[in-house]
Chains A and B, each alone.
Chain A
Amino acid sequence: GQNIDQPTEMTATEGAIVQINCTYQTSGFNGLFWYQQHAGEAPTFLSYNVLDGLEEKGRFSSFLSRSKGYSYLLLKELQMKDSASYLCASMDSNYQLIWGAGTKLIIKP
Chain B
Amino acid sequence: IAGITQAPTSQILAAGRRMTLRCTQDMRHNAMYWYRQDLGLGLRLIHYSNTAGTTGKGEVPDGYSVSRANTDDFPLTLASAVPSQTSVYFCASSDGAGGPGTDTQYFGPGTRLTVL
Interface residues of A (CB under 8 A from B): 4, 30-31, 33, 41-45, 48, 87, 89, 91, 95-102
- In the complex, which residues of chain A have a beta carbon less than 8 angstroms from the beta carbon of B45? 96-97
Q: How far is the CB of B27 from chain A (nearest CB, A)?
A: 13
- In the complex, which residues of chain A have a beta carbon less than 8 angstroms from the beta carbon of B110? 41-42
Report the Cα distance A91→B102, complex, angstroms.
12
Q: Let me know if B42 and A45 touch, CB within 8 A.
A: no
- In the complex, which residues of chain A have a beta carbon less than 8 angstroms from the beta carbon of B90? 42-43
- Contact with A96, one of B40, B58, B107 (Cβ below 8 angstroms): B58
- 19 additional contacts (CB under 8 A) given A89-B43, A95-B103: A4-B42, A31-B103, A33-B105, A41-B109, A41-B110, A42-B107, A42-B108, A42-B109, A43-B107, A44-B107, A45-B104, A45-B105, A87-B43, A89-B42, A97-B43, A97-B45, A99-B42, A99-B43, A101-B40
- In the complex, which residues of chain B have a beta carbon less than 8 angstroms from the beta carbon of A95? 96, 103
Q: Let me know if B104 and A48 touch, CB within 8 A.
A: yes
Q: How far is the CB of B2 from chain A (nearest CB, A)?
A: 14
Sorted nearest first, the 10 A-B pairs with minimum C-beta distance are A99-B42, A42-B107, A99-B43, A101-B42, A43-B107, A100-B42, A42-B109, A45-B104, A42-B110, A101-B41
Interface of B is mostly: loop
- In the complex, which residues of chain B have a beta carbon less than 8 angstroms from the beta carbon of A96? 45, 48, 58
Q: Does B44 contact A (CB under 8 A)?
A: yes
Q: How far is the CB of B93 from chain A (nearest CB, A)?
A: 12
Q: How far is the CB of B101 from chain A (nearest CB, A)?
A: 7
Report the Cα distance A81→B68, complex, angstroms.
37
Q: Which residue of B lies closest to A45 (CB)?
A: B104
Q: A42-B108, A42-B110, A43-B90 are in contact. Are A91 and B44 (CB under 8 A)?
A: no
Q: How far is the CB of A92 from chain B (nearest CB, A)?
A: 11
Q: Does B106 contact A (CB under 8 A)?
A: yes
Q: Let me know if B106 and A45 touch, CB within 8 A.
A: yes
- In the complex, which residues of chain A have a beta carbon less than 8 angstroms from the beta carbon of B40? 101
